[in-house]
Amino acid sequence: MTAAGRMALVAAALIVLAGSIILLPTPWDILLALGIAAAIAFVLPSARASNTELVIAVTELDPGIAPVLDRLVEGVLLLDPEQTVRFANVAAAALFDHPREAMLDISLIRATREAGLARVAREADGIAHELTLDAGLILSVTALALADGRTVLTVLDRTAQRRAERARQDLVANISHELRTPITAARALAETLEDGVPDEAHRARFHRQLAGEVDRMQGIVERLIRLSRIEQGAEQLDLAPVVTGGLIREAMERVSPPAERAGVMLSSEIAEAAASAQILADQERVLEVLTNLLDNSIKFSAPGGVVTTGAEAVEGFVRFWVRDQGPGIMPNERLRIFERFYTSDRARTAKEPTGSGLGLSIARHIVNRHGGEIWAADEPRGAMICFTVPMVAAPTA
């Protein structure tokens, strides 16, 4: 076959490969291996190679192939019969976090430090295998044996896809769990009312409880929609200079009624430099974060407890915090409390319902979109949640 013929077949193989990626998202791995294997088989005249030259890197025989393979998002490796790496594209080097040159002319297991990958390469059955690496990556790996003993290995990172699938599964499970309680309660109340409640006072109380359960379900759905919009960037921030001191006073006024009902005192500790400092923020969104944190602290405080909020200027940011004297947050939960629907130990042991488990997740997204951070601080007694918001940049001279 002429060189032009071989190159035409290579082009056809790459076209099939590209089409399979677009049109066949599930079985494309096998087509990918077949396409690349066909390209290499036609381009490399291995029948004329001696024993010592049997396996040569793709780039040495046709420099035009390597740039094409380097443009693929999939990792591609060419192995000789002894499982030595003779070629690795850019994506493969990036997946295993090694310089490409350091992966060549050594065994696959030394190049990748992954025994599972070497096992798939030895089997070379042309079937996509899903492997979880020690580093946490989830890879779809396909190995295809060539007639001369070499092996083409293709690797695709499935980590983000699998995490998204797990997140969707967790979301459905969490929604089902969160809605099950109010739905069950509402159904029981509705059936009781349907059967008839002679006492007017009891009937009115059941109606109020039924309305409360419906409101709870509506709140969960609305918060989910809100969180989804924030995550997708659909909610625009109306950024403007906001005075820190006034923001804290407004947040405390908003939570004064529930604090009084719970018998909890509110106090503030605002550093002098922060009281007049201006942050670049969407005032309503930052107020939402502050009032959510204050409301949580009030719920977890015993009568007579104190909830404190404060602020201080720190290296171009204002650091806000809300501290309570409640049961506190376990160290192993300080990151997880910002996940959707996560219920901490102190929430599970609370005497009253503490919410849908979405408030802190929403708060995290709002703070992150402002360019700040939010975290649970190490507090010897009670809980302390901190977050930062950038200050208004000083005018340049």
Inform me whether the pLDDT recorded for 294 exceeds 60: yes
Read off the pLDDT band of 346 (50, 70, 90). low
- CA distances 376 to 3, 230, 318, 337, 349, Å, are 65, 22, 16, 9, 19
**For helices 359-369 and 200-231, angle between their N-to-C axes, nearest 10 degrees:** 30
Half-sphere exposure of 74 (CA within 13 A, CB side): 24
What average pLDDT does the structure give for the chain?
A: 78
Q: What are phi and psi of 369, to 5 degrees?
A: -70, -20
pTM above 0.85, yes or no: no
* Highest mean pLDDT, choosing among 43-57, 166-180, 192-206, 305-319: 305-319
The enclosing domain of 206 has a CATH number of 1.10.287.130
Same domain assignment for residues 124 and 179: no
Sign of CA dihedral 65, 71, 74, 75: positive
Q: ∠ CA 382-387-391 to the nearest 5 degrees? A: 145
Same domain assignment for residues 183 and 109: no
Q: Give the range among 19-23, 32-36, 74-78, 203-207 with minimum mean pLDDT.
A: 19-23
What is the separation of C-alpha 326 from the centre of its chain, rounded to a whole number of angstroms? 30
* Highest mean pLDDT, choosing among 47-51, 131-135, 152-156, 357-361: 152-156
Same domain assignment for residues 330 and 215: no
Read off the pLDDT band of 320 (50, 70, 90). very high
CB 338 within 8 A of CB 361: yes
Same domain assignment for residues 139 and 272: no
What is the separation of C-alpha 191 from the centre of its chain, rounded to a whole number of angstroms? 42
Read off the pLDDT band of 201 (50, 70, 90). confident
Inform me whether the pLDDT recorded for 343 exceeds 60: yes
Same domain assignment for residues 373 and 241: yes
Give which of 90, 146, 91, 79 is closest to 118, Cα–Cα.
79
Amino acid letter, residue 334: R
Same domain assignment for residues 149 and 174: no
Give the number of other Cβ atoms within 10 Å of residue 21's Cβ: 18
Give which of 270, 274, 281, 292 is closest to 364, Cα–Cα.
292
Same domain assignment for residues 349 and 222: no
Same domain assignment for residues 152 and 170: no
**For helices 28-43 and 3-23, angle between their N-to-C axes, nearest 10 degrees:** 170
**Final residue in a domain of this structure, among 97, 123, 157:** 157
> What is the rounded distance in angstroms from the CA atom of residue 342 to the CA atom of residue 360?
9
> What is the rounded distance in angstroms from the CA atom of residue 1 to the CA atom of residue 369?
59
The enclosing domain of 263 has a CATH number of 3.30.565.10
3-state helix, strand, coil in the chain (%, to 5): 50, 20, 30
Q: N- to C-terminal Cα distance for the chain?
A: 72
Higher model confidence: residue 20 or residue 255?
255
Same domain assignment for residues 257 and 133: no
- Per-residue confidence (pLDDT) for residue 213, from 0 to 100: 81
CB 95 within 8 A of CB 160: no
Same domain assignment for residues 249 and 381: yes
Domain span at residue 385? 237-397
Alpha helices in 278-328 (DSSP H): 283-299
Same domain assignment for residues 397 and 266: yes
**Final residue in a domain of this structure, among 125, 157, 189:** 157
* Highest mean pLDDT, choosing among 145-149, 278-282, 331-335: 278-282
Give the number of other Cβ atoms within 10 Å of residue 126's Cβ: 15
Same domain assignment for residues 28 and 177: no
- CA distances 190 to 194, 195, 217, 249, 330, Å, are 6, 9, 15, 42, 39
Structural domains in the chain (count): 3
**Final residue in a domain of this structure, among 207, 235, 263:** 235
- Per-residue confidence (pLDDT) for residue 140, from 0 to 100: 92
- CA distances 359 to 45, 290, 337, 339, Å, are 64, 11, 10, 10
Inform me whether the pLDDT recorded for 306 exceeds 90: yes
Query: Which whole number is the average pLDDT over 310-332?
Result: 90
The residue assigned the tokens 């899903």 is 130
